Amino acid sequence: MNYKTISISIILVAVIFIVAFTFIDNDPISEPDEELNMEETAVEVQAVNQDVDEPEGFDVEILAPHAPFPDELAAKFSLIYAEYGGEEIVNEMRDASTMIVAEVNWDEHGSTSGWHYHPGIALVTIVEGDLEVTMKQDCIPRVYEEGEAWLDPGDIHKAVSASDGVKAIVTFLGIPDGEPATVWVEPVEC
């Protein structure tokens, strides 16, 4: 083996090492601008950081708390927004082995979730009304109507009621046990 072969082998091992550790990370695609202690509940996080965007007219009822899958579960979600230039957003979760199901309600037109993110992904079904969702990455408001579903890949976003009495059923995947399903953050300028 010559030095050229050894150098190429070392480079290949380094690339494999970097790629492997990139996929082990379960964090959302867009990292929050500040570090939050995920061991605290969402309410405690709000009390610690007074600059978070407070929800208004927004209520969450947990229908099924953390439920682990008895087998290993990984998931890869690919999302392409037409308005986002067709760029693919990929969230590859090495550990999607927990699930939480919640009912989320917005009281009236203009009620807001406030800016937040989820430490995993969320599959959202709009059961009643229309919901306007804005993602931090592109600041484009998208309206999802009753009977439609959308995928939240774990990025910072806000959801505002586009009609009176919006109800959604949300399935969260990969939220570590003991951590909140939602973490509120500072308002985003869009």
Six token digits for residue 71: 């087998």
Which pLDDT belongs to residue 12?
Answer: 30
pLDDT value at 93 more than 90: no
Report all structural domains of the chain as residue ranges with CATH numbers, in order of start: 3-184 (2.60.120.10)
Six token digits for residue 124: 């959202």
Which pLDDT belongs to residue 11?
Answer: 30
Q: What predicted TM-score, i.e. pTM, was given to this entire model?
A: 0.70
Confidence of residue 85 (pLDDT cuts 50, 70, 90): low
Nearest to 159 by CA among 117, 114, 119: 114
pLDDT in tens, 129-186: 999 999 998 899 999 999 999 999 889 999 999 999 999 999 999 998 888 999 999 9
Higher-scoring residue by pLDDT: 7, 188? 188
Q: Are 132 and 142 in contact (CB under 8 A)?
A: yes
Which pLDDT belongs to residue 89?
Answer: 83
pLDDT value at 22 more than 80: no
Cα separation of 21 and 164, whole Å?
45
Which pLDDT belongs to residue 79?
Answer: 87
Confidence of residue 16 (pLDDT cuts 50, 70, 90): very low
Q: Are 173 and 99 in contact (CB under 8 A)?
A: yes
SS (H, E, C) the chain: CCHHHHHHHHHHHHHHHHHHHHHHCCCCCCCCCCCCCCCCCHHHHHHHCCCCCCCECEEEEEEEEEEECCCCCCEEEEEECHHHCCCEEEEEECCCCEEEEEEEEECCCCCECCCEECCCEEEEEEEECCEEEEECCCCCEEEECCCCEEEECCCCEEEEECCCCEEEEEEEECCCCCCCCCEECCCCCC
The pLDDT of 83-89, averaged and rounded, is: 72
pLDDT in tens, 36-80: 333 333 333 343 455 888 999 999 999 999 999 999 888 898 888
Which pLDDT belongs to residue 84?
Answer: 62
The pLDDT of 4-19, averaged and rounded, is: 30
